[in-house]
Amino acid sequence: MATRAQIAVFDKGNGRIKSVYSHYDGGDYMKNELNTYFNNGDAAEKLVDNTSIRAISDGEVDYFNDGGAEVIVNSDLRDLAMEFAELADSGSADYIHFWDGEKWNSLRHQGIRSSYDRLLDLWEVDEMMPMEETYEKKWQKFLAEGDAVNENIDLDAIEKYIEKVTTGDAEGGEQLVNFGLDAYMYSLRRDIQAGRIEGYAEFSMDDYVEDFENYVADKMDS
């Protein structure tokens, strides 16, 4: 099935990532393929030193004819993590797999912010590391831009209503909000920024609550 992934070789010392897009079976199946057939530096480098990947089966790689590797270089590992998370997101990746020089690391991509945080954790990046422009500043800029895209959709009011309703009488509501409200609002803002607002044109507040609950249920199922 079309479970997309971003596959990369990460060089922490040089602040460098080389990555290719993979179209099929990007989850646990891909994780097993990588750990079975590409579990050393030379094999990992060779894998990403080509065009985009259609699929891998028993170590045999089926490449597309186009879509070459993307190389990101940034000595600031926080910026590098954000750029890589953005790259995965732009390709609608469901998973990220990267070789760190010793082993493969795999994570579920559930949005830029989630993957950014997870990458920093896996890369053991110092939280106090200085940056010219932190991810948090860029995140706040993104939120501000999202608020300005469509004045007819009051995102703050939607978020507050969802929080009020789902932490009220609904069983497990507080857990639902803690689990997924930030991620849901991020997804909603992205839809609005991308101009995908037709589906929300006739939404009532209760429709947003239902949409949020379905979003969380889908994430928990996956």
Per-residue pLDDT tens over the stretch 79-130:
899 999 999 988 889 999 999 999 999 999 988 888 988 999 999 886 544 4
Residue whose C-alpha is closest to residue 8's, from 92, 127, 77, 101: 101
User: Which residue matches tokens 């891909």?
Assistant: 30
User: Is residue 151 one of the residues assigned to a domain?
Assistant: yes
Q: Which domain holds residue 213?
A: 135-221
Do the domain assignments include residue 128? no
**Do 97 and 35 share a structural domain?**
yes
Given 77, 95, 123, the domain boundary residue is 123
- 187 C-beta neighbours (distance < 10 Å), count: 16
> Are residue 77 and residue 42 in the same domain, yes or no?
yes
pLDDT tens, position by position, 23-75: 999 999 999 999 999 999 999 999 999 999 999 999 999 999 877 899 999 99
Residue 177 lies in a domain: yes
**26 and 107 assigned to the same domain:** yes
Last residue of a domain, one of 96, 123, 150: 123
pTM of the model: 0.60
Residue 32 falls inside a structural domain: yes
Per-residue pLDDT reduced to its tens digit, 185-211: 877 776 666 566 666 777 888 888 888
- Residues 110 and 187: their CA atoms lie apart, in Å, by 9
205: which residues sit within 8 A by CB, 6+ positions away?
A: 157, 158, 161
Q: Of 123, 147, 163, which marks where a domain is finished?
A: 123
For the chain, what is the domain count?
2
Residue 163 pLDDT greater than 50, yes or no: yes
Report whether 84 contacts 123 (CB < 8 A). Answer: no
